[in-house]
């Protein structure tokens, strides 16, 4: 991670070995000069210091219990690595020796940022700068010496004896919180953390945070991660200003306690929240607006709990509609007339786009935590089900709910609690991730995250639905159709795989390996000059676009294989987008921990897809997130995701001419815009 940490650890190791073996070992002081008193040469002191600082949360350190973190550099043989770095002249700072280098890493972690954090460049600011205040001189020396002289024999013995001696970490030592602190942490965890780590904290997009995992890390290390984020996509809540140092510590303490049990929700409760604001018979029978409503963009204003409906021709905000908390996505009715907007609080709002000013016509809350919504789209021999039903996928309680597609009256609740597909273990919180509607059958493809099962839910008799469960891969998340709309490609993000479902045959077509944490949004369909039709995804964990062949008939050799990797300047990508008429593929890096990369977008030329054509920052603040084309496919709209509490920097949309890549317009002063859903492109799955 940071050089400071290296120094710290190397010194400790050296000291430890000397104490344990009685052999003389190189010793370190902060100046790298005279040796400290022998009493300080203690491996045990070093180990205690590592535990006190929670170093094992970020680093692998042989001989230190629980030190298996992968956020920072692996500190096995760190002294040797540092020596090589010094010999190569890579390091340009003040340290003259390995011991100096490691000491500096602890005291001033940002003085030199190590180049390799498990395959990706280490980030400035991740290693806490406050460690120097935490440790005595003796502790720092112990740690540096420990790292310089790793107690190899001991570590090996420990490794060998692990199967026999391994015991569950003690979890009875949770730090205490006041009632007020607990209530605050519970609410903030739900709002900011549960989405990735799970309400029961069993892990998914983010790692598990149960006390057996968190207590060995300790308050300081957990707080540092919460404050600084990680290169693999954990947001830097402290640096972003969402939490103070003190609040990250309260959250760190909360995480070491057992998670509180959240409430269930029954149909009766959902019905009590249902409001039919304009009944279907009172709605217009033709569009009442002269605007090109099919070119509306429904834009999430995340922290305002609203969506803005923006005219794609004039860039005017036509209407702002109150929806659920921290609105997540919008999907359109098969006709395009209605926008269904789901909030993270499980509130679904239905907006009529035919009225002169787009108006909310119904709303309902069907859970406490939701991410997905879809409608029925089958129209064929078995009947016309277009927009007859809607379905909401919930994170908590883990269920999906079927509603009347015209009124939002909920009528059927189906729990997704079941067994993991591979080990057949009961999972209490298998959350509903993406949902898409098949056009081949009256079916929804419902992706159940934690169990790794893709459910094909037949809604032709929705009170008695039949469900086919397809075994795929764990941690199913987001995805999109291939260009033929027969295959749905969904990221199993923490499994580093894309699962391909054949909607016609109703079976898994393939599982494709990808780099770390694929996150396609809906992906991008285009024709690769060498491999034919492909679908591409970018990644949270690696700076790479991977393209997968999607044409088993015309290009069987490429089908369901990762045929191309296009390197990006950084990881943390959330979305990728293209249009059949466009020569470009657009990609963001919204969750990169480098603020400049977080507000950068890149384009790849379809004619030369092995490299990035151009990257640029789209704003001077915030994050560049989510691209969407206009109906004509001539413009790309990108959100600048700002900070709702900073006037002038709350966010905006930047509009680019897709042919020239030149900026055309800015739609300013929007509150934290994130996803944008063009009516025509969403109805027709153009991406």
Q: Which is nearer to ligand DHE, 230 or 558 (CB)?
A: 230
Q: Which is nearer to ligand DHE, 195 or 324 (CB)?
A: 195
522 binds ligand DHE (CB under 6 A): yes
- Burial of 535: CB neighbours in 10 Å, binned 0-12, 13-18, 19+: buried
- Number of residues near ligand DHE (by CB under 6 A): 21
> C-alpha distances in angstroms, 322 versus 190, 387, 409?
21, 22, 19
> C-alpha distances in angstroms, 188 versus 308, 588, 607?
26, 27, 46
Q: How far is the CB of 123 from ligand DHE (least distance, A)?
A: 19
Can you tell me the distance from the alpha carbon of 56 to that of 54, in angstroms, rounded to the nearest whole number?
5
302 binds ligand DHE (CB under 6 A): yes
Give the DSSP letter of residue 60: B
Q: Which residue is nearest to ligand DHE, using beta carbons?
A: 195
Q: How far is the CB of 654 from ligand DHE (least distance, A)?
A: 16
- Long-range interactions of 556-561: CB distance < 8 A, separation 24+: 558/531, 558/532, 558/534, 559/510, 560/500, 560/509, 560/510, 560/512, 561/512
Binding string, residues 39-78; x marks residues near ligand DHE by CB under 6 A: ----------------------------------------
491 binds ligand DHE (CB under 6 A): no
Q: How far is the CB of 521 from ligand DHE (least distance, A)?
A: 4
One of 69, 151, 195, 259 touching ligand DHE (CB under 6 A):
195
Q: Which residue in the block uniquely carries the two structure tokens 């260009």?
A: 483
Q: Are strands 466-471 and 476-481 parallel, antiparallel or unpaired?
A: unpaired
Q: How far is the CB of 230 from ligand DHE (least distance, A)?
A: 14
Q: Which is nearer to ligand DHE, 91 or 481 (CB)?
A: 481
539 binds ligand DHE (CB under 6 A): no
The catalytic residues are 193, 196-197, 234, 477, 519
One of 155, 196, 276, 615 touching ligand DHE (CB under 6 A):
196
675 binds ligand DHE (CB under 6 A): yes
Q: How far is the CB of 555 from ligand DHE (least distance, A)?
A: 26
Can you tell me the distance from the alpha carbon of 7 to that of 103, in angstroms, rounded to the nearest whole number?
4
One of 674, 678, 681, 683 touching ligand DHE (CB under 6 A):
674
Q: How far is the CB of 331 from ligand DHE (least distance, A)?
A: 7
Name beta bridge partners: 68. Answer: 60
User: Tokens standing for 454?
Assistant: 């893709």
207 binds ligand DHE (CB under 6 A): no
Can you tell me the distance from the alpha carbon of 82 to that of 54, in angstroms, rounded to the nearest whole number?
22
One of 104, 352, 387, 478 touching ligand DHE (CB under 6 A):
478
Q: Residue 328: which of 307, 353, 356 has the closest Cα?
A: 307
Q: How far is the CB of 641 from ligand DHE (least distance, A)?
A: 7
Strands of 369-375's sheet in order across? 369-375, 389-396, 399-404, 410-415
197 binds ligand DHE (CB under 6 A): no
The DSSP element (H or E) to which 492 belongs, if any, is strand 487-492
Q: Which is nearer to ligand DHE, 147 or 435 (CB)?
A: 435
Answer yes or no: are the C-beta atoms of 325 and 342 closer than 8 Å: no
Binding string, residues 569-588; x marks residues near ligand DHE by CB under 6 A: -----x--------------
323 binds ligand DHE (CB under 6 A): no
Name beta bridge partners: 605. Answer: 584
One of 256, 434, 566, 681 touching ligand DHE (CB under 6 A):
434
Only one of the segments 12-20, 46-54, 323-331, 333-341 lies at the binding site for ligand DHE (rule: CB under 6 A); that segment is 323-331
The secondary structure of 299-320, three-state, reads EEEHHHCEEEEEECCCCCEEEE
Backbone angles phi, psi at 145, to 5 degrees: -70, -35
Only one of the segments 289-297, 403-411, 429-437, 544-552 lies at the binding site for ligand DHE (rule: CB under 6 A); that segment is 429-437
Q: How far is the CB of 206 from ligand DHE (least distance, A)?
A: 8
Q: How far is the CB of 32 from ligand DHE (least distance, A)?
A: 45
One of 97, 141, 372, 514 touching ligand DHE (CB under 6 A):
372
625 binds ligand DHE (CB under 6 A): yes
Render the burial of 355-382: b for 16+ CB within 10 Å, e for the rest: beebbbbbbbbbbbbbbbbbbbbbeeee
**CA atoms within a 13 Å half-sphere pointing along the CA-CB vector of 208:** 10
Q: Which is nearer to ligand DHE, 606 or 626 (CB)?
A: 626
Only one of the segments 178-186, 433-441, 457-465, 494-502 lies at the binding site for ligand DHE (rule: CB under 6 A); that segment is 433-441
Answer yes or no: are the C-beta atoms of 25 and 42 closer than 8 Å: no
The DSSP element (H or E) to which 470 belongs, if any, is strand 466-471
521 binds ligand DHE (CB under 6 A): yes
Q: Which is nearer to ligand DHE, 278 or 644 (CB)?
A: 644
Q: How far is the CB of 418 from ligand DHE (least distance, A)?
A: 18
Residues 221-240 that bind ligand DHE (CB under 6 A): none
Residue 146 neighbours by CB under 8 Å, 6+ apart? 9, 10, 11, 12, 13, 14, 15, 16, 17, 43, 46, 47, 50, 63
Q: How far is the CB of 627 from ligand DHE (least distance, A)?
A: 9
Q: Which is nearer to ligand DHE, 371 or 564 (CB)?
A: 371
Q: Which is nearer to ligand DHE, 112 or 641 (CB)?
A: 641
Answer yes or no: are the C-beta atoms of 587 and 602 closer than 8 Å: yes
SS3 content of the chain, % helix, strand, coil (to 5): 25, 30, 45
| Cβ-based neighbour number of residue 240 at 10 Å | 13
211 binds ligand DHE (CB under 6 A): no
Residues 329-348 that bind ligand DHE (CB under 6 A): 329
Q: Residue 240: which of 646, 654, 648 has the closest Cα?
A: 646
One of 49, 78, 350, 435 touching ligand DHE (CB under 6 A):
435
Q: How far is the CB of 368 from ligand DHE (least distance, A)?
A: 13
Backbone angles phi, psi at 596, to 5 degrees: -70, -40
**φ/ψ bin of 485: left (φ > 0), alpha (ψ from -120 to 50), beta (otherwise):** left
Only one of the segments 38-46, 306-314, 398-406, 427-435 lies at the binding site for ligand DHE (rule: CB under 6 A); that segment is 427-435
Name beta bridge partners: 316. Answer: none
Answer yes or no: are the C-beta atoms of 578 and 584 closer than 8 Å: yes
Q: Which is nearer to ligand DHE, 508 or 644 (CB)?
A: 644
Contact residues for ligand DHE, defined by CB under 6 A: 195-196, 205, 302, 326, 328-329, 371-372, 433-435, 477-478, 521-522, 574, 625-626, 674-675
């Amino acid at each position: 991670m940071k050089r400071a940490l290296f120094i710290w650890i190397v010194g400790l190791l050296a000291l430890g070995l000397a104490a344990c073996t009685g052999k003389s070992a190189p010793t370190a002081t902060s100046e790298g000069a005279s040796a400290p008193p022998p009493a300080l040469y203690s491996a045990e002191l070093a180990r205690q210091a590592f535990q006190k600082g929670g170093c094992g949360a970020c680093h692998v350190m042989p001989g230190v219990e629980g030190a298996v973190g992968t956020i920072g550099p692996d500190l096995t043989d760190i002294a040797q690595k540092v020596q090589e770095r010094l010999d190569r002249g890579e390091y340009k700072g003040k340290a003259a020796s390995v011991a100096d280098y490691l000491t500096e890493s602890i005291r001033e972690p940002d003085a030199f940022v190590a180049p390799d954090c498990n395959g990706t460049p280490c980030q400035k600011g991740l290693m806490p700068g406050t460690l120097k205040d935490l440790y005595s001189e003796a502790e720092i020396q112990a740690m540096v010496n420990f790292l310089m002289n790793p107690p190899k024999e001991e570590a090996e013995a420990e490794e060998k004896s692990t199967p026999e001696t391994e015991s569950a970490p003690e979890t009875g030592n949770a730090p205490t919180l006041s009632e007020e602190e607990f209530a605050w942490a519970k609410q903030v965890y739900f709002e900011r953390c549960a989405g990735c780590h799970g309400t029961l904290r069993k892990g998914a997009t983010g790692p598990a945070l149960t006390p057996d995992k968190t207590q060995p890390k300790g308050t300081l290390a957990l707080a540092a991660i919460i404050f600084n984020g990680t290169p693999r996509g954990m947001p830097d809540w402290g640096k972003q200003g969402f939490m103070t140092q003190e609040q990250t510590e309260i959250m760190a303490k909360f995480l070491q306690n057992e998670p509180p049990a959240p409430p269930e929700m029954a149909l009766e409760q959902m019905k009590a929240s249902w409001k039919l604001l304009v009944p279907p018979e009172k709605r217009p029978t033709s569009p009442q607006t002269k605007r090109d409503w099919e070119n509306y963009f429904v834009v999430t204003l995340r922290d305002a709990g609203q969506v803005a409906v923006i005219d794609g021709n004039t860039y005017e905000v036509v209407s702002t509609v109150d929806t659920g908390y921290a609105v997540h996505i919008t999907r359109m009715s098969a006709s395009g007339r209605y926008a269904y907007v789901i909030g993270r609080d499980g509130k679904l709002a239905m907006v009529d786009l035919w009225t002169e000013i787009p108006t909310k016509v119904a709303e309902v809350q069907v859970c406490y935590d939701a991410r997905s919504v879809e409608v029925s789209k089958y129209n064929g021999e078995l009947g016309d089900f277009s927009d007859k039903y809607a379905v909401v996928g919930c994170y908590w309680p883990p269920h999906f709910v079927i509603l009347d597609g015209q009124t939002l009256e909920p009528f059927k609740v189906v729990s997704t609690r079941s067994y993991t597909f591979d080990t057949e273990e009961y999972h209490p919180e298998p959350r509903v991730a993406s949902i898409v509607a098949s056009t081949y059958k009256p079916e929804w493809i419902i992706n159940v995250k934690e169990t790794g099962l893709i459910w094909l839910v037949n809604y032709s008799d929705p009170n008695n639905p039949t469900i086919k469960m397809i075994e795929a891969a764990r941690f199913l998340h987001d995805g999109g159709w291939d260009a033929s709309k027969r295959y749905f490609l969904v990221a199993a993000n923490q499994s580093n795989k894309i699962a391909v479902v054949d909607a016609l045959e109703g079976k898994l077509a393939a599982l494709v390996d990808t780099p770390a944490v694929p996150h396609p949004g809906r992906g991008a369909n285009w024709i690769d000059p060498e491999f034919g039709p492909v679908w591409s995804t970018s990644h949270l964990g690696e700076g790479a676009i991977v393209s997968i062949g999607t044409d088993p008939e015309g290009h069987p050799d490429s089908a369901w294989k990762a045929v191309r990797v296009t390197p990006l300047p950084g990881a943390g990508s959330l979305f990728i987008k293209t249009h059949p008429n466009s020569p470009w593929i657009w990609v963001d890096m919204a969750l990169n921990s480098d603020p400049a990369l977080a507000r950068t977008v890149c384009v790849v030329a379809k004619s030369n897809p092995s490299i990035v054509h151009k990257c640029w920052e789209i704003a001077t603040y915030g994050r560049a997130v989510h691209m969407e084309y206009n109906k004509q496919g001539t413009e790309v709209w990108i959100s600048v995701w700002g900070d709702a509490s900073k006037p002038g920097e709350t966010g905006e949309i930047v509009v680019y001419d897709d042919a020239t890549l030149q900026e055309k317009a800015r739609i300013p002063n929007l509150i934290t815009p994130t996803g944008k859903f063009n009516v025509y492109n969403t109805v027709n799955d153009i991406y």
